[in-house]
Amino acid sequence: MNLFKAELRRIARRRLSLIFGIIAAAGVLVLAGVFWFTSSKGPTAEALEEAQAEADRMNEENYEYEACIEDEAYLEGPDYEWVEDDPYYDGLSHEEACAELFGVWTAEDLIWTYTFDFAEESPLLLIGVAIVAGLVMMMLASSAIGAEWSSGGMANLLLWHPNRMRVWGTKLGAAAAVCAAAVLALMLLAFGLLYLAASVRGDVSGVDAGWWDENLPKFARAAVLSVGMTVLGASLAMLGRHTAISGGIIAGYLIVGDMLVRIAAMALQMPFSERLSLYTWVTAWVDGKTELYDWTDLYAETADVMVITASEAGLLLGGIVLGFAVLATWAFQRRDVS
Protein backbone atom coordinates (compact mmCIF):
# COMPACT_ATOMS: atom_id res chain seq x y z
CA MET A 1 0.00 0.00 0.00
CA ASN A 2 2.87 2.29 0.86
CA LEU A 3 4.44 1.49 -2.45
CA PHE A 4 1.21 2.27 -4.25
CA LYS A 5 0.91 5.64 -2.55
CA ALA A 6 4.53 6.44 -3.28
CA GLU A 7 3.96 5.49 -6.89
CA LEU A 8 0.92 7.75 -7.17
CA ARG A 9 2.93 10.56 -5.67
CA ARG A 10 5.76 9.90 -8.06
CA ILE A 11 3.43 10.21 -11.04
CA ALA A 12 1.79 13.29 -9.60
CA ARG A 13 5.12 14.99 -8.98
CA ARG A 14 6.36 14.53 -12.51
CA ARG A 15 6.50 17.66 -14.57
CA LEU A 16 5.06 15.85 -17.56
CA SER A 17 1.91 15.05 -15.60
CA LEU A 18 1.42 18.73 -14.89
CA ILE A 19 2.04 19.69 -18.51
CA PHE A 20 -0.28 17.00 -19.87
CA GLY A 21 -2.90 17.87 -17.29
CA ILE A 22 -2.88 21.52 -18.28
CA ILE A 23 -2.92 20.71 -21.98
CA ALA A 24 -5.82 18.28 -21.60
CA ALA A 25 -7.90 20.67 -19.51
CA ALA A 26 -7.14 23.51 -21.91
CA GLY A 27 -8.13 21.27 -24.83
CA VAL A 28 -11.53 20.59 -23.30
CA LEU A 29 -11.97 24.27 -22.57
CA VAL A 30 -11.16 25.19 -26.17
CA LEU A 31 -13.56 22.53 -27.46
CA ALA A 32 -16.39 23.90 -25.34
CA GLY A 33 -15.38 27.42 -26.35
CA VAL A 34 -15.66 26.58 -30.03
CA PHE A 35 -19.26 25.44 -29.54
CA TRP A 36 -20.00 28.38 -27.31
CA PHE A 37 -18.96 30.85 -29.97
CA THR A 38 -20.30 29.11 -33.08
CA SER A 39 -23.65 28.04 -31.72
CA SER A 40 -26.73 30.24 -31.50
CA LYS A 41 -30.44 29.71 -31.08
CA GLY A 42 -31.24 31.00 -34.58
CA PRO A 43 -30.94 34.49 -36.09
CA THR A 44 -32.49 37.56 -34.50
CA ALA A 45 -35.49 39.18 -36.26
CA GLU A 46 -33.35 42.17 -37.11
CA ALA A 47 -30.65 40.08 -38.76
CA LEU A 48 -33.32 38.14 -40.64
CA GLU A 49 -34.88 41.35 -41.97
CA GLU A 50 -31.51 42.67 -43.07
CA ALA A 51 -30.69 39.43 -44.84
CA GLN A 52 -34.12 39.40 -46.56
CA ALA A 53 -33.49 42.92 -47.89
CA GLU A 54 -30.09 41.87 -49.19
CA ALA A 55 -31.59 38.77 -50.81
CA ASP A 56 -34.29 40.83 -52.52
CA ARG A 57 -31.69 43.24 -53.84
CA MET A 58 -29.62 40.37 -55.21
CA ASN A 59 -32.65 38.77 -56.83
CA GLU A 60 -33.40 42.03 -58.61
CA GLU A 61 -30.01 41.82 -60.23
CA ASN A 62 -30.82 38.32 -61.43
CA TYR A 63 -32.49 39.50 -64.66
CA GLU A 64 -33.53 36.16 -66.00
CA TYR A 65 -35.31 35.31 -62.78
CA GLU A 66 -37.05 38.67 -62.76
CA ALA A 67 -38.11 38.21 -66.35
CA CYS A 68 -39.44 34.73 -65.61
CA ILE A 69 -41.44 35.94 -62.63
CA GLU A 70 -42.95 38.81 -64.55
CA ASP A 71 -43.92 36.78 -67.61
CA GLU A 72 -46.32 33.92 -66.84
CA ALA A 73 -45.64 32.45 -70.28
CA TYR A 74 -41.85 32.67 -69.95
CA LEU A 75 -41.43 28.96 -69.62
CA GLU A 76 -43.53 28.23 -72.68
CA GLY A 77 -41.00 30.00 -74.89
CA PRO A 78 -38.89 27.95 -77.29
CA ASP A 79 -35.90 27.72 -74.93
CA TYR A 80 -37.84 26.20 -72.05
CA GLU A 81 -40.40 23.92 -73.74
CA TRP A 82 -38.75 20.87 -72.12
CA VAL A 83 -39.74 22.05 -68.68
CA GLU A 84 -43.31 20.99 -69.26
CA ASP A 85 -42.21 17.39 -69.94
CA ASP A 86 -39.71 17.10 -67.13
CA PRO A 87 -41.29 15.23 -64.22
CA TYR A 88 -39.04 17.13 -61.80
CA TYR A 89 -41.02 20.30 -62.39
CA ASP A 90 -44.37 18.61 -62.04
CA GLY A 91 -46.58 20.30 -59.51
CA LEU A 92 -44.34 23.29 -59.00
CA SER A 93 -45.89 26.70 -59.17
CA HIS A 94 -44.59 29.08 -61.77
CA GLU A 95 -42.54 30.99 -59.21
CA GLU A 96 -41.00 27.86 -57.79
CA ALA A 97 -40.07 26.66 -61.23
CA CYS A 98 -38.40 30.00 -61.95
CA ALA A 99 -36.49 29.79 -58.71
CA GLU A 100 -35.35 26.27 -59.55
CA LEU A 101 -34.23 27.24 -63.00
CA PHE A 102 -32.46 30.49 -62.38
CA GLY A 103 -31.63 30.33 -58.74
CA VAL A 104 -32.99 32.59 -56.09
CA TRP A 105 -31.51 34.05 -52.96
CA THR A 106 -33.28 33.67 -49.67
CA ALA A 107 -32.50 35.21 -46.30
CA GLU A 108 -31.28 31.78 -45.04
CA ASP A 109 -28.70 31.68 -47.81
CA LEU A 110 -27.14 34.87 -46.55
CA ILE A 111 -27.28 34.28 -42.85
CA TRP A 112 -25.50 31.31 -41.43
CA THR A 113 -26.61 29.99 -38.10
CA TYR A 114 -25.64 26.85 -36.32
CA THR A 115 -27.38 25.44 -33.27
CA PHE A 116 -25.40 23.08 -31.12
CA ASP A 117 -27.63 20.10 -30.49
CA PHE A 118 -26.26 18.54 -27.34
CA ALA A 119 -28.16 15.27 -27.49
CA GLU A 120 -27.11 14.73 -31.09
CA GLU A 121 -23.51 15.87 -31.10
CA SER A 122 -22.08 15.50 -27.61
CA PRO A 123 -21.69 11.69 -27.51
CA LEU A 124 -19.11 11.70 -30.26
CA LEU A 125 -17.30 14.62 -28.66
CA LEU A 126 -17.25 12.99 -25.25
CA ILE A 127 -16.00 9.71 -26.69
CA GLY A 128 -13.33 11.68 -28.51
CA VAL A 129 -12.32 13.35 -25.27
CA ALA A 130 -12.07 9.96 -23.56
CA ILE A 131 -9.93 8.51 -26.33
CA VAL A 132 -7.61 11.49 -26.56
CA ALA A 133 -7.30 11.48 -22.77
CA GLY A 134 -6.48 7.78 -23.03
CA LEU A 135 -3.74 8.48 -25.56
CA VAL A 136 -2.29 11.17 -23.32
CA MET A 137 -2.41 8.86 -20.31
CA MET A 138 -0.79 6.13 -22.35
CA MET A 139 2.11 8.45 -23.11
CA LEU A 140 2.29 9.48 -19.49
CA ALA A 141 2.30 5.90 -18.24
CA SER A 142 4.91 4.75 -20.71
CA SER A 143 7.08 7.72 -19.90
CA ALA A 144 6.70 7.15 -16.16
CA ILE A 145 7.98 3.61 -16.56
CA GLY A 146 10.36 4.23 -19.44
CA ALA A 147 12.05 7.15 -17.70
CA GLU A 148 12.46 5.13 -14.57
CA TRP A 149 14.28 2.47 -16.54
CA SER A 150 16.47 4.80 -18.53
CA SER A 151 17.32 6.96 -15.54
CA GLY A 152 18.42 3.94 -13.53
CA GLY A 153 15.77 4.55 -10.91
CA MET A 154 14.31 1.09 -11.48
CA ALA A 155 17.46 -0.68 -10.31
CA ASN A 156 17.41 1.52 -7.25
CA LEU A 157 13.78 0.77 -6.53
CA LEU A 158 14.45 -2.96 -6.80
CA LEU A 159 17.09 -2.63 -4.09
CA TRP A 160 14.23 -1.58 -1.85
CA HIS A 161 11.54 -3.85 -3.21
CA PRO A 162 13.05 -7.04 -4.61
CA ASN A 163 9.67 -8.60 -5.29
CA ARG A 164 9.39 -7.64 -8.92
CA MET A 165 5.85 -8.83 -9.38
CA ARG A 166 4.76 -6.56 -6.61
CA VAL A 167 6.64 -3.61 -8.08
CA TRP A 168 5.19 -4.18 -11.54
CA GLY A 169 1.68 -4.81 -10.26
CA THR A 170 1.81 -1.65 -8.21
CA LYS A 171 3.13 0.43 -11.06
CA LEU A 172 0.50 -0.90 -13.43
CA GLY A 173 -2.22 -0.38 -10.86
CA ALA A 174 -1.11 3.17 -10.17
CA ALA A 175 -0.94 4.01 -13.88
CA ALA A 176 -4.39 2.54 -14.51
CA ALA A 177 -5.87 4.30 -11.50
CA VAL A 178 -4.43 7.65 -12.54
CA CYS A 179 -5.65 7.09 -16.08
CA ALA A 180 -9.15 6.18 -15.00
CA ALA A 181 -9.34 9.18 -12.70
CA ALA A 182 -8.00 11.53 -15.36
CA VAL A 183 -10.34 10.24 -18.07
CA LEU A 184 -13.32 10.46 -15.76
CA ALA A 185 -12.40 13.97 -14.68
CA LEU A 186 -11.90 15.14 -18.25
CA MET A 187 -15.16 13.59 -19.41
CA LEU A 188 -17.05 15.22 -16.55
CA LEU A 189 -15.40 18.55 -17.31
CA ALA A 190 -16.19 18.21 -21.00
CA PHE A 191 -19.76 17.16 -20.27
CA GLY A 192 -20.26 20.10 -17.92
CA LEU A 193 -18.79 22.69 -20.24
CA LEU A 194 -20.54 21.39 -23.36
CA TYR A 195 -23.85 21.18 -21.54
CA LEU A 196 -23.38 24.72 -20.35
CA ALA A 197 -22.60 25.91 -23.85
CA ALA A 198 -25.61 24.07 -25.24
CA SER A 199 -28.03 25.29 -22.60
CA VAL A 200 -27.00 28.91 -23.03
CA ARG A 201 -26.46 29.05 -26.75
CA GLY A 202 -27.77 25.82 -28.19
CA ASP A 203 -30.25 23.06 -27.66
CA VAL A 204 -30.24 20.62 -24.76
CA SER A 205 -33.50 18.90 -25.46
CA GLY A 206 -33.43 15.15 -25.83
CA VAL A 207 -31.05 14.43 -22.98
CA ASP A 208 -33.44 12.04 -21.29
CA ALA A 209 -33.38 8.56 -19.84
CA GLY A 210 -33.36 7.08 -23.32
CA TRP A 211 -30.33 9.16 -24.24
CA TRP A 212 -28.48 8.00 -21.16
CA ASP A 213 -29.43 4.40 -21.81
CA GLU A 214 -28.00 4.65 -25.26
CA ASN A 215 -24.84 6.61 -24.52
CA LEU A 216 -23.69 5.75 -21.04
CA PRO A 217 -22.45 2.29 -22.11
CA LYS A 218 -20.51 3.93 -24.93
CA PHE A 219 -18.89 6.37 -22.54
CA ALA A 220 -18.02 3.57 -20.17
CA ARG A 221 -16.50 1.51 -22.98
CA ALA A 222 -14.49 4.49 -24.18
CA ALA A 223 -13.14 4.95 -20.67
CA VAL A 224 -12.25 1.26 -20.45
CA LEU A 225 -10.50 1.59 -23.80
CA SER A 226 -8.42 4.44 -22.38
CA VAL A 227 -7.38 2.37 -19.38
CA GLY A 228 -6.52 -0.47 -21.75
CA MET A 229 -4.32 1.85 -23.79
CA THR A 230 -2.57 2.96 -20.62
CA VAL A 231 -1.85 -0.64 -19.65
CA LEU A 232 -0.57 -1.29 -23.16
CA GLY A 233 1.72 1.75 -23.04
CA ALA A 234 3.07 0.74 -19.64
CA SER A 235 3.67 -2.83 -20.80
CA LEU A 236 5.53 -1.75 -23.90
CA ALA A 237 7.67 0.64 -21.86
CA MET A 238 8.44 -2.22 -19.50
CA LEU A 239 9.42 -4.45 -22.41
CA GLY A 240 11.49 -1.84 -24.21
CA ARG A 241 12.78 -0.22 -21.04
CA HIS A 242 12.53 3.14 -22.72
CA THR A 243 9.79 5.68 -23.27
CA ALA A 244 10.62 6.27 -26.90
CA ILE A 245 10.42 2.58 -27.74
CA SER A 246 6.91 2.28 -26.37
CA GLY A 247 5.63 5.46 -27.99
CA GLY A 248 7.41 4.62 -31.23
CA ILE A 249 5.89 1.16 -31.51
CA ILE A 250 2.36 2.38 -30.85
CA ALA A 251 2.54 5.42 -33.12
CA GLY A 252 4.36 3.39 -35.76
CA TYR A 253 1.71 0.70 -35.77
CA LEU A 254 -1.26 3.03 -35.75
CA ILE A 255 0.13 5.18 -38.55
CA VAL A 256 2.10 2.84 -40.77
CA GLY A 257 1.56 -0.73 -39.62
CA ASP A 258 -2.20 -0.60 -39.76
CA MET A 259 -2.11 0.80 -43.28
CA LEU A 260 0.42 -1.78 -44.47
CA VAL A 261 -1.68 -4.61 -43.11
CA ARG A 262 -4.74 -3.31 -44.92
CA ILE A 263 -2.89 -2.80 -48.15
CA ALA A 264 -1.56 -6.34 -47.92
CA ALA A 265 -5.06 -7.67 -47.24
CA MET A 266 -6.43 -5.80 -50.25
CA ALA A 267 -3.63 -7.04 -52.44
CA LEU A 268 -4.52 -10.58 -51.41
CA GLN A 269 -8.16 -9.79 -52.18
CA MET A 270 -9.16 -10.87 -48.78
CA PRO A 271 -12.84 -10.37 -48.08
CA PHE A 272 -13.62 -7.87 -45.32
CA SER A 273 -10.09 -6.50 -45.33
CA GLU A 274 -11.11 -3.77 -42.89
CA ARG A 275 -11.31 -6.36 -40.18
CA LEU A 276 -7.51 -6.34 -40.09
CA SER A 277 -7.50 -2.72 -39.08
CA LEU A 278 -7.34 -1.94 -35.43
CA TYR A 279 -9.54 1.08 -35.98
CA THR A 280 -12.43 -1.13 -37.06
CA TRP A 281 -12.31 -3.01 -33.82
CA VAL A 282 -11.93 0.13 -31.75
CA THR A 283 -14.99 1.57 -33.47
CA ALA A 284 -16.93 -1.63 -32.88
CA TRP A 285 -15.94 -1.64 -29.23
CA VAL A 286 -17.00 1.93 -28.59
CA ASP A 287 -20.09 2.04 -30.80
CA GLY A 288 -21.33 -1.35 -29.73
CA LYS A 289 -21.30 -2.82 -33.22
CA THR A 290 -19.79 -2.34 -36.65
CA GLU A 291 -20.94 -3.76 -39.96
CA LEU A 292 -18.51 -4.53 -42.73
CA TYR A 293 -19.70 -4.98 -46.32
CA ASP A 294 -18.05 -7.12 -48.90
CA TRP A 295 -18.68 -6.23 -52.54
CA THR A 296 -16.15 -8.56 -54.10
CA ASP A 297 -18.94 -10.60 -55.68
CA LEU A 298 -19.86 -8.09 -58.34
CA TYR A 299 -22.97 -9.97 -59.48
CA ALA A 300 -24.53 -10.23 -56.05
CA GLU A 301 -27.72 -8.34 -55.39
CA THR A 302 -26.65 -7.40 -51.91
CA ALA A 303 -23.26 -7.29 -50.22
CA ASP A 304 -22.05 -9.86 -47.75
CA VAL A 305 -22.27 -8.42 -44.28
CA MET A 306 -19.98 -9.09 -41.38
CA VAL A 307 -21.03 -7.83 -37.97
CA ILE A 308 -18.50 -7.16 -35.25
CA THR A 309 -20.07 -6.77 -31.85
CA ALA A 310 -18.64 -4.93 -28.86
CA SER A 311 -18.00 -8.15 -27.00
CA GLU A 312 -16.02 -9.60 -29.90
CA ALA A 313 -14.04 -6.40 -30.21
CA GLY A 314 -13.56 -6.36 -26.46
CA LEU A 315 -12.17 -9.87 -26.53
CA LEU A 316 -9.72 -9.05 -29.28
CA LEU A 317 -8.53 -5.73 -27.90
CA GLY A 318 -8.44 -7.07 -24.37
CA GLY A 319 -6.47 -10.04 -25.63
CA ILE A 320 -3.90 -7.78 -27.26
CA VAL A 321 -3.48 -5.70 -24.11
CA LEU A 322 -3.33 -8.76 -21.92
CA GLY A 323 -0.83 -10.42 -24.24
CA PHE A 324 1.57 -7.52 -23.99
CA ALA A 325 1.04 -7.21 -20.24
CA VAL A 326 1.89 -10.88 -19.77
CA LEU A 327 4.93 -10.55 -22.01
CA ALA A 328 6.12 -7.55 -20.01
CA THR A 329 5.56 -9.40 -16.76
CA TRP A 330 7.51 -12.36 -17.97
CA ALA A 331 10.37 -10.22 -19.26
CA PHE A 332 10.57 -8.20 -16.07
CA GLN A 333 10.62 -11.33 -13.97
CA ARG A 334 13.37 -12.97 -15.99
CA ARG A 335 15.64 -10.32 -17.33
CA ASP A 336 18.70 -8.89 -15.60
CA VAL A 337 18.60 -5.37 -14.35
CA SER A 338 21.78 -3.42 -14.70
- The residue among 159 and 209 lying less far from other proteins, judged by its C-beta, is 159
**Residue 239 CB neighbour total at 10 angstroms:** 21
- The residue among 178 and 313 lying less far from other proteins, judged by its C-beta, is 178
Whole-angstrom distance, CA of residue 17 vs CA of residue 89: 64
In the complex, the residues that contact other proteins under the rule CB under 8 A are: 2-3, 5-7, 9-10, 13-15, 147-148, 151-153, 155-163, 334, 336-338
State the nearest-atom distance from the C-beta of 326 to other proteins, in Å. Answer: 20
- The residue among 44 and 156 lying less far from other proteins, judged by its C-beta, is 156
State the nearest-atom distance from the C-beta of 194 to other proteins, in Å. Answer: 35
- The residue among 3 and 28 lying less far from other proteins, judged by its C-beta, is 3
- The residue among 306 and 331 lying less far from other proteins, judged by its C-beta, is 331
